[in-house]
């Protein structure tokens, strides 16, 4: 569960009280967090209920954390204005964010949550969370291909970071990245003379796809 900010920051920047008034509200016991009167400038969780002078200023929010096996043919978006979006799969969930998208042709693990800060920490490249893929290519894989892939490939005037690449069989590789450029694996393979026939993400950080079936959702315990 992610941290939000300190209560005084909320009083000043969200409710627009002065620093003096915010401190007085805390000192006089007029601020409650999750039903408890606070006496200091405590840290909040993003889903905390906040009452000031008995009035709810922020409702308690229940966070959900989900694994989803995205089928190929769907865009990694919940925007209903985009064709082949994923909204129908999540009709019973609101305000979800996607942690690390997959292109339309790819399948595999998506992580979603209504906890925006948690999602940011999971998918922002600066945190270097690992993402693992199985990739089927259109011709036999050479040692040169694997070595070149691991050492970085120049795509769109950008040299990709060194990564893990292992030959699984004649035409399949396992790839582990800590960055996520748009269609990165497909572009890297193209530069090296290969086309991707099938791409499946099997892991994001410590979350595994395992035996989750296509189009199915599973709750994650955090």
DSSP letter at 10? I
Are the CB atoms for 110 and 68 separated by under 8 Å? yes
| 103: annotated active-site residue | yes
Active-site residue, from 27, 103, 115, 138: 103
- What backbone torsions phi and psi does residue 53 show, to the nearest 5 degrees? 55, 40
Q: What's the CA gap between 152 and 185, in Å, rounded?
A: 11
Residue 176: Cβ within 10 Å count: 15
CA 116 to chain centre: 9
Total residues found in the chain within this entry: 222
Q: Which three-class secondary structure string do you get for 129-146?
A: CCEEEEEEECCCCCHHHH
Catalytic center residues: 103
């Amino acid at each position: 569960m992610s941290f939000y900010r300190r209560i005084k920051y909320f009083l000043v920047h969200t409710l627009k009280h002065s620093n003096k008034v915010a401190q007085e509200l805390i000192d006089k016991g007029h601020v409650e967090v999750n039903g408890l009167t606070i006496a200091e400038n405590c840290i909040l969780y993003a889903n905390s209920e906040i009452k000031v002078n008995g009035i709810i200023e922020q409702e308690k929010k229940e966070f959900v954390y989900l694994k989803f096996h995205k089928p190929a043919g769907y865009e990694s978006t919940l925007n209903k204005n985009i064709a082949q979006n994923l909204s129908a799969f999540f009709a019973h969930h609101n305000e979800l964010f996607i942690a690390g998208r997959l292109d339309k042709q790819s399948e595999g693990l998506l992580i979603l949550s209504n906890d925006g800060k948690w999602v940011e920490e999971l998918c922002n490249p600066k945190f270097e969370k690992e993402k693992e893929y199985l990739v089927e290519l259109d011709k036999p894989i050479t040692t040169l291909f694997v070595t070149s892939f691991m050492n970085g490939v120049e795509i769109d005037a950008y040299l990709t970071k060194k990564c893990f690449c292992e030959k699984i069989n004649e035409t399949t590789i396992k790839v582990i990245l800590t960055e996520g450029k748009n269609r990165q694996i497909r572009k890297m393979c193209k530069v090296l003379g290969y086309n991707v026939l099938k791409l499946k993400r099997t892991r994001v950080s410590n979350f595994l796809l395992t035996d989750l079936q296509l189009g199915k959702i599973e709750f994650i315990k955090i």
